[in-house]
């Protein structure tokens, strides 16, 4: 009888232990597709005057009319369209945090829920639709 109780107790303990059904948290998947702002100050989006658009393997560049005394707002950048793009375009690919623009490869990471793109060389882009500073 003692052995049976001990056996039941051990079975209960082992059945309540960790299971292999624990939730595995995956990192979010971000994309570079969309509009990104570049600022001459890598720590401050306020001074952004250049917008890069990553669209289906092509990167376009547009400039907004901003000055240090009159910085651009999201409205200024949202007002830019295809007619505001400067001549010339660059091709890009993005796979597994590797961004290649016209054959130049950089490892990138994301911060602020995908709103900031950080290049391994220290460059920074801010997603236009984000509130990240």
DSSP assignment of 31-90 equals ---EEEEE-SSTT-GGG--EEEEEETTEEEEEE----SSS---HHHHHT--GGGBPS--E
The larger pLDDT score, comparing residue 26 to residue 74, is at 74
Are 35 and 52 in contact by the 8 Å Cβ rule? The answer is: yes
* Rounded distance between C-alpha atoms, residue 68 and residue 27, angstroms: 37
Biggest CA–CA distance in the chain, Å, is 88
Which residues are CB-neighbours of 35 under 8 A, at least 6 positions away? 51, 52, 53, 77, 127, 128, 129
Across 101-124, average pLDDT: 94
pTM above the 0.85 mark? Answer: no
How does residue 15 score in pLDDT terms, banded at 50, 70 and 90?
A: very low
Identify the structural domains of the chain with CATH numbers, from first to last.
Answer: 33-127 (2.40.128)
């Amino acid at each position: 009888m003692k052995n049976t109780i001990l056996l039941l107790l051990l079975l209960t303990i082992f059945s309540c232990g960790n299971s292999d059904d624990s939730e595995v948290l995956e990192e979010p998947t971000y994309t570079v597709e969309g509009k990104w702002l570049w600022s001459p100050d890598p720590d401050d989006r306020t001074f952004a005057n250049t917008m890069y658009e990553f669209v289906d393997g092509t990167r376009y560049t547009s400039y907004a009319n901003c000055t240090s005394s009159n910085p651009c707002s999201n409205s200024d950048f949202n007002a830019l369209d295809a007619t505001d793009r400067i001549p010339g375009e660059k091709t890009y690919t993005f796979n597994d945090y590797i961004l290649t623009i016209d054959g130049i490869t950089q490892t990138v990471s994301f911060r602020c829920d995908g709103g900031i793109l950080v290049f391994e060389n220290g460059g920074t882009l801010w997603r236009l639709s984000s509130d990240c500073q």
